[in-house]
Amino acid sequence: MSMKTGTTSRSREHSGYEYADTHCHLVPDWFTLEEISKIAIKAQQSGIKTIINSVLKSENYSFGLKTIKNKGIHLTIGTEITDNSQESIQMLKEFYTSNQESIVAIGEIGLDFYWVKEEEKRSDQEKYFKQLIQFSIAHDIPIVVHSRGAESKAIEILKATGAENVLMHCFEGTAEQINDVMRRAWYISVPTSTVYRKNFQKVLQLVSLDNLMFETDSPFHSLEKEENNTPLSIPTLCRNGARILEVEEKELAYITTKNVKDFYRL
């Protein structure tokens, strides 16, 4: 469906810094290809040189391939964690195998115990998560992990399966869990709602810059509740992140962008 982006009021003259959005959902549920092209052009003009588009529905994977024709957009494919099946796992594997040169990571994948309460469904999530971790290891490709309400279990599974190239997206773990993630040289990303959400501000303050990335998770985690989010919000997140951390925006933009490029091997 078409949507309003609502970015004009927050635009400003390009700072000269380079930014990256490590996780968003530029999919037909929310954006047309024309809207995505306009966002990509504006992003380049605004210094947002790297956008990682996470496509979760198998019927949208081919749409995702079309989005990477835009400069700066790269593709990851994942699954709908709360509605997984063995069939959806197999479709991901087959699509990746046929298009691996166009895909920079598997994800998002993982666990969601916030929305899913039934033990049987949680057990299925764990089974599918393990399968996709093993698949990513076999193909030497990074994974982007969703772990809402299941941070401890997700980390436990990642450690047990020997995962190495890991991004914990929109992570809301404890200080102990954050330290566990960083000890393994994994990455943590916080979303644009960090600007006003204290839980993500706490995470931001605990993560080493060497392990930190910024994401919009578009169209979610918007800066203004009545608007859908886009990657164009990244400079605002970086500017506010620099204020919270009491560091220079230039330094924060540089490090978080470098982390994105290193992780996705761009």
Ordered domains of the chain (ranges, CATH): 17-264 (3.20.20.140)
Residue 2 has pLDDT above 50, yes or no: no
Please report, rounded to a whole number, the percentage of residues in the chain having pLDDT higher than 90: 91
Residue 39 has pLDDT above 60, yes or no: yes
Pair of tokens at residue 72: 């700066």
Judged by phi (left if over 0) then psi (alpha if -120 to 50, else beta), residue 265 lies in: left
pLDDT at 16: 84
Pair of tokens at residue 211: 């392990």
What is the average pLDDT score of the chain? 94
Residue 104 has pLDDT above 90, yes or no: yes
Determine which of 35-49, 93-107, 200-214, 222-236 has the lowest per-residue pLDDT on average. Answer: 222-236
Sign of the alpha-carbon torsion through 161, 167, 173, 176: positive
The Cα 3–Cα 227 span in angstroms is: 9
Taking only the tens place, the pLDDT of each residue in 211-251 is: 999 999 999 999 987 689 999 999 999 999 999 999 999 99
User: Per-residue b/e over 179-197, b at no fewer than 16 CB within 10 Å?
Assistant: ebbbeeebbbbbbbbbbee
Residue 15 has pLDDT above 80, yes or no: no
Residues 72, 51 contacting (CB under 8 angstroms): yes
Mean pLDDT calculated for residue range 99-104:
98
Residue 52 has pLDDT above 70, yes or no: yes
pLDDT at 224: 80
Taking only the tens place, the pLDDT of each residue in 133-179 is: 999 999 999 999 999 999 999 999 999 999 999 999 999 999 999 99
Pair of tokens at residue 160: 């047990």
pLDDT at 8: 31
Residue 184 has pLDDT above 70, yes or no: yes
Structure confidence at residue 11 as a pLDDT band (50, 70, 90): very low
pLDDT at 14: 61
Residue 4 has pLDDT above 50, yes or no: no
